[in-house]
Amino acid sequence: MISITFITDLLSSFKFRDYSILKNLNFNVNVVEAQSFIKLLMKGLSKGFIADLFYAWFATSPGLTATILGKVYRKPSIVVAGGFDVCKQEDIKYGLRLNNPEKVKYVKYTLRNASRVIAVSNHVADMINELEPNSKVEVIYNGIDTAKFTPSQTPKKNIIVSVGAISKSNLLKKGFITIVKAMPAVMKHYKEIKLLIVGEK
């Protein structure tokens, strides 16, 4: 059985989904979880010898740890770049490069040395290539469980859905303010349209 060491600073819902998917595919998954790079690295070194592969979300501390452990144990490392870790969008002050520029050298190391970097969109891949042209990047969009979410057989209604964690900082980053401001113009063309914003606080 292939053993995967999953490096994470916090096992949030989308990371837990990855964990569940890997377990359901019969991989032996060991989670190494800590809030700091040093703790991640120390825990990873103590468990890493059993790994066939190191996997992490984000090119920050988790990805850096996975990449270093991959080099130490001569095993492949896969890092998912999710956005904030590699992007730079000045108009909304979004991205590690703007908010924590001293950590960018670690992100660049991760992108350059990971066996594979997964970008969640073409835009994220472009940002990765801008930051570190020598990364081995591949675009894999986030997916859905088609057993749970299937196209409706009922007639379609005009509904705009915007999804994202709802917080003060995300109102601009996730585009909630933009879509709300745009609704009067949209409603001039589509009278029956509705806006649905979905997310946890």
Strand segments (E) across 91-183: 116-119, 137-139, 159-163
Q: Please tell me the predicted confidence (pLDDT) of residue 94.
A: 81
Judge contact between 177 and 166, C-beta under 8 A.
no
Q: Tokens at residue 172, please?
A: 């601009």
Domain segments of the chain as ranges:
3-139, 159-198
Q: Is the separation of the CB atoms in 64 and 7 below 8 Å?
A: no
Confidence of residue 201 (pLDDT cuts 50, 70, 90): confident
Judged on CB neighbours under 10 Å (0-12, 13-18, 19+), 76 is middle
pLDDT digit string (tens) for 131-182?
999 999 999 998 877 787 777 777 777 888 888 878 877 777 788 888 889 9
pLDDT of 83: 87
pTM for this prediction = 0.81
Pairing state between β 28-33 and 3-8: parallel
Q: How far apart are CA 75 and CA 128, in angstroms?
A: 23
- Confirm if 9 and 64 have CB atoms less than 8 A apart: no
Q: Residue 185 above 80 pLDDT?
A: yes
Rounded to an integer, the average pLDDT of 74-93 is 89
Asked whether residue 67 carries a pLDDT value surpassing 90, the answer given is yes
**By percentage, how much of the chain surpasses pLDDT 70?**
100
Write down the pLDDT at residue 167: 80
Contact 115, 104 (CB under 8 A): no
pLDDT of residue 115 exceeding 90: yes
Mean pLDDT across the chain: 87
The pLDDT of residue 74 is above 90:
yes
We find that the CATH architecture of domain 3-139 is 3-Layer(aba) Sandwich (3.40)
Q: Compute the distance between CA of residue 75 and CA of residue 106 in angstroms, rounded to an integer.
A: 20
